[in-house]
A and B are shown apart, each in its own frame.
Chain A
Amino acid sequence: MIEIRNLHANVDGKPILKGIDLTIGPGEVHAIMGPNGSGKSTLSYVLAGREGYEVTDGSVTFNGKDLLAMEPEERAAEGVFLAFQYPVEIPGVSNTTFLKSALNAIRKYRGEKELDAMQFLKLIREKTKKLGMTDEMLKRAVNVGFSGGEKKRNEVLQMAVLAPKFCVLDETDSGLDIDALKVCADGVNALRGPDRSMLVITHYQRLLEYIVPDYVHVLAFGKIQRSGGKELALELEKKGYAEFGVNEAA
């Protein structure tokens, strides 16, 4: 599904990613854990194609295509989805308009027929209900006045509507209480399937109790330091990142 080879990236001229290798197969859920500043968010932005994140070496191949050569919107249309750590507020654009524009842009790219207002409403009603979201949240401007939990649920809703092939969840647990975390995790788990891969980025092991990964990787100093099964997360929870030369007091 996705192959990351020797990925190097700079932010503001400073090297952050220093040779990442990672292969994620169809249906697999991989978790990346790491301390602050290890490059977790940089990796997610590089995959989504944010400007200002300069790839200096390496490659990312997505379903046989060169992901790094694509614009952010092409990546989304190809099936890459980044759930933002800090979802952006967009005053004046209703959640419904936003979701409909996004879905139809992606359908158009894939050569599928765009949904009309009625078809779209039917689809979205069903998805929002599952996430315990109200119609009122759809009418409101994107993320404006949303609580932390509502913003993250909104990310999961977008994921459900756009049905991507590869999801990057950038610290989806940050700022959530346990109830909100469970709602989001349930939403994500409902989207797991043999054709959908996920990369779950987190600082805390707790999220991985609810979204149980197939593989866990430790990212520190811009490189994957160790990989293992889900038990690696528990080990990290106990021992911290000291083994990788990280001073966690920082």
Chain B
Amino acid sequence: MTATAVQPYIDLFGRLESGMPGGRLPWLAERRRAGLERFRDTGFPSVKAEAWKYTNLRPLESLSFDLAAPSPPTVGIDRLPTVMPAGESAYRLVFVDGAPRPDLGLTSGLPVGVVLMSLGEALEKEPALLEEYLGRVAPVEDGKPLAALNTAFLADGAVLRLPKGVVLDKPVELLFLATGADRPLVWHPRLLIVAETLSEATIVEHHVGLGGGTYFANSVTEVVARGGARLRHYKLQREGAGAFHVATVAARLERDVDYSSFVLAMGAKLARHEACVTLDGPGINAHVSAGYLVRDSQHCDITTVIDHAQPHGSSRQVCKGVLDDTARAVFQGKIVVRPGAQKTDGYQINRALLLSEKAEVDTKPELEIYADDVKCSHGATAGELDDDALFYLRARGIDRDTARGLLIGAFLGEALEEVGVEVVRNAFAAQVEGWLAAREAKL
């Protein structure tokens, strides 16, 4: 950590603090300041920090970013790059360079009591909801420097609250577009998802870069799910080639919740997706899975912490990735089983497929088990395409490149099986196919 890297953010905070949205809310000013102080104390994490051992943020530290303008750019967008296919209806919030664009959103017809709005709007309309949760699931005391930085600059993002028993009829799509402006911009989106007892919804985040410029998207998502709620939480990350994408997800699940998340990471120069899921009640089922496709000199870090705090919980993590060229990937997966979290069933598998000798993957599974009646398994592999399978396909008339494409697609397809919502799974599969087609065209 260097003081010089932190200083610009402190200066920026000093200049902007008084003008930030929700300035009349004392609790918000307090939490922002706590975030800034925490970030000032820790600075950017270095590779000496265990959680950042394999992801070096030096290239990010050395850049200076301007905070994206609070008023959204008025760039015209002819066709929104939605994950949900045309004709599939969804509720939608759209953000451009971190700022909401209500003119592009779709929130009409929401069931009574559902809150789906930008965080800026919620600061006006739902301050009590925000006060109750913001910074409570992902508190700055967690010691995550970038989450603390997000809290310091907390200004906008998305809020979804599902009242008790409400089952959303359509998925909620959260679209984050980056224009890749001519100067490096930073934004700190904050997402809050509160699912009350027995509510159900599918949430699809899409982070997409429209240009190759440098920017820094530093998001924090807080999820609270109450008794028996069912959440499907998917994310497609296709940031631009010059992007730094750091996402911290903190989810607190209460009894009997079924939470299933999947991130497909393909974009950005450097990306990190960190998901910390706490099973804070009995009988919870949590799936926290991921797939990634990286090439050139991309860096992709998937870090998870699954915290079994109560008995009879099960967690499942499948992470599969494909690396080409000199790309690098990191999978850090920690499963904690607290004393008393008996009958826990934890499963974790991480597989990487290396298409180039210069690609590299680092895997760090960790099990911390303090209960004695649990079942936990983990496994990790890294390898090349199977020669036997390749020959088998070719011996049936399928040419080498097509055979390789089939095998790579199949490899990732197994991870996509974890995406339980068919329309999303198909959209993700189409992304994988597009990636493979681009690769083949290059060969």
Residues of A within 8 A of B (CB): 48-51, 71-73, 75-77, 81-82, 84, 87-93, 97-98, 101-103, 105-106, 109, 141, 158, 162
Chain A residue numbers with a CB within 8 Å of B25 are none
Known: A105-B399, A105-B402. A91 touches B394 (CB 8 A): no
B392 at the interface (CB under 8 A from A): yes
Minimum CB–CB distance for B337 against chain A, Å? 30
Q: Does residue B406 face the partner (Cβ distance < 8 Å to A)?
A: yes
**Interface contact B389-A102, CB-CB below 8 Å:** no
Given A91-B414, A92-B411: A73 and B391 interface contact (C-beta under 8 Å): no
- Cβ of B5 within 8 Å of any chain A Cβ, yes or no, is no
Chain B residues contacting A84 (CB-CB under 8 Å) are: 392, 395
Between A and B, 14 residue pairs with Cβ closer than 8 Å are: A50-B395, A51-B391, A71-B399, A72-B394, A75-B395, A76-B394, A76-B397, A84-B392, A88-B386, A90-B393, A90-B407, A92-B410, A93-B407, A101-B393
Is B398 in contact with A71, judged by CB distance below 8 angstroms?
Answer: no
Total chain B interface residues with beta-carbon distance under 8 A:
23
B24 CB–A CB distance under 8 Å: no
Supply 11 further A-B pairs (C-beta < 8 A) apart from A88-B391, A90-B410, A101-B398: A48-B395, A50-B391, A50-B395, A51-B387, A73-B397, A73-B399, A76-B397, A102-B396, A102-B398, A105-B396, A106-B397
Please name all residues of chain B whose beta carbon is closer than 8 Å to the beta carbon of A81 when the two chains form the complex: 395
Q: How far is the CB of A65 from chain B (nearest CB, A)?
A: 16
CB pair B388–A158 under 8 Å, yes or no, is no
Are B396 and A76 neighbours in the complex by a CB distance under 8 Å? yes
Give the CA-CA distance A90 to B385 in the complex, in Å.
Answer: 11
Which residue on chain A has the smallest CB distance to residue B391? A50
Interface residue B70 (Cβ < 8 Å from any Cβ of A) = no
Q: In the complex the two chains form, is B410's CB within 8 Å of A91's CB?
A: yes
Contacts A93-B407, A93-B410, A101-B406 given: A109-B392 contact, CB under 8 Å? no
B residues less than 8 Å from A51 (CB atoms): 387, 391
Q: Which of B392, B395, B397, B400 contacts A90 (CB 8 A)?
A: B392
The listed residue with most A CB atoms (<10 A of its CB), out of B387, B388, B400, B414, is B388
| A90 / chain B contacts, CB cutoff of 8 Å | 389, 392-393, 407, 410
| B413: interface (CB < 8 Å) | yes
Of all chain B residues, which has the CB nearest A102? Answer: B396
Chain A residues in 8 Å Cβ range of B413 = 92
In the complex, chain B residues whose CB is within 8 Å of the CB of A77: 397
Contacting pair B400 A73 (CB below 8 A)? yes
8 Å CB contact of A71 from B389, B400, B402, B410 = B400
Q: Which residue from chain B places its CB closest to the CB of A84 in the assembled complex?
A: B392
Q: Is the CB of B414 within 8 A of A92?
A: yes
Which among B386, B388, B391, B398 is the interface contact of A105 at CB below 8 angstroms?
B398
Contacts of B399 in A (CB 8 A): 71, 73, 105
Q: Which 9 A-B pairs have the closest CB atoms?
A: A92-B410, A76-B397, A102-B396, A72-B394, A88-B392, A106-B397, A105-B397, A93-B410, A92-B413
Contact (Cβ within 8 A) A76 B410? no
- Distance A90 CA – B395 CA, assembled complex (angstroms): 14
- Chain B residues near A109: list those with CB within 8 A: 397
Residues of B near A50 (CB, < 8 A) are: 391, 395
Least CB distance, B436 to chain A, in whole angstroms: 13
User: Which residues does chain B contribute within 8 Å of A106, judged by CB atoms?
Assistant: 397
Question: Using Cβ atoms and an 8 Å threshold, which residues of chain A touch B410?
Answer: 90-93, 141
Contact of A73 among B386, B394, B409, B414 (CB under 8 A): B394
Collect the chain B residues with CB atoms within 8 Å of residue A49's CB. Answer: 394-395
List chain B residues, Cβ under 8 A from A89: 389
Give chain A nearest CB distance to B264 CB in angstroms: 16
Q: Name the distance in Å between A120's Cβ and chain B's nearest Cβ.
A: 14
Closest to A45 in B: B391
Q: Assess the B397–A88 pair: CB atoms within 8 A.
A: no
**Chain A residue contacts of B389, Cβ below 8 A:** 88-90
Known contacts A91-B410, A91-B414, A92-B411; decide if A162 and B396 are in contact (CB<8 Å). Answer: yes
Contacts of B414 in A (CB 8 A): 91-92
Separation of A76 and B407 alpha carbons in the complex (Å)? 19
> CA–CA, A89 to B386, complex, Å?
10
Q: Which of A77, A84, A91, A106 has the most CB of B within 10 A?
A: A91
B393 and A98 contact, CB distance less than 8 A: yes
**CA–CA, A84 and B413, complex, Å:** 26
Q: How far is the CA of A178 from the CA of B63 in the complex (A)?
A: 72
The docked-state distance in angstroms from the alpha carbon of A91 to that of B412 is: 10
Q: Distance (Å) between the CB of A27 and the closest chain B CB? A: 23
For A75, list chain B residues within 8 Å (CB). Answer: 395
Kindly provide the distance from the CB of B393 to the nearest chain A CB, expressed in whole angstroms.
7
Chain A residues with Cβ below 8 Å from B402 are 101, 105
Asked whether B397 lies within 8 Å of A162 as measured between CB atoms, the reply is: yes
Contact B397 A87 (CB under 8 A): no
- Pick the most buried of B395, B409, B411, B414: most chain A CB atoms within 10 A of its CB: B395
Q: How far is the CA of A84 from the CA of B389 in the complex (A)?
A: 12
- Could you tell me the distance between the alpha carbons of A155 and B226 in the complex, rounded to whole angstroms? 52
Chain B residues contacting A98 (CB-CB under 8 Å) are 393, 396, 406
Q: Considering the chains assembled together, what is the distance between the CA atoms of A73 and B413 in angstroms? A: 24
> Once bound together, how far apart are the Cα atoms of A105 and B398, in whole Å?
6
Contact A73 B407, CB 8 Å, known A84-B392, A90-B392: no
With A77-B397, A109-B397 given, is the CB distance from A87 to B392 under 8 Å? yes
Q: List residues of chain B with CB within 8 A of the CB of A72.
A: 391, 394-395
Contacts of A91 in B (CB 8 A): 410, 414
In the assembled complex, the Cα of A89 lies from the Cα of B403 at a distance in Å of: 14
Residue from A71, A97, A158, A162 within 8 A of B394 (CB atoms) = A71
Expressed in whole angstroms, the Cα–Cα distance for A71 and B390 within the complex equals 13
Q: Which of B391, B403, B406, B413 has the most A CB atoms < 10 Å from its CB?
A: B391
Contact A76 B392 (CB under 8 A): no
Closest Cβ of chain A to B319, distance in Å, is: 15
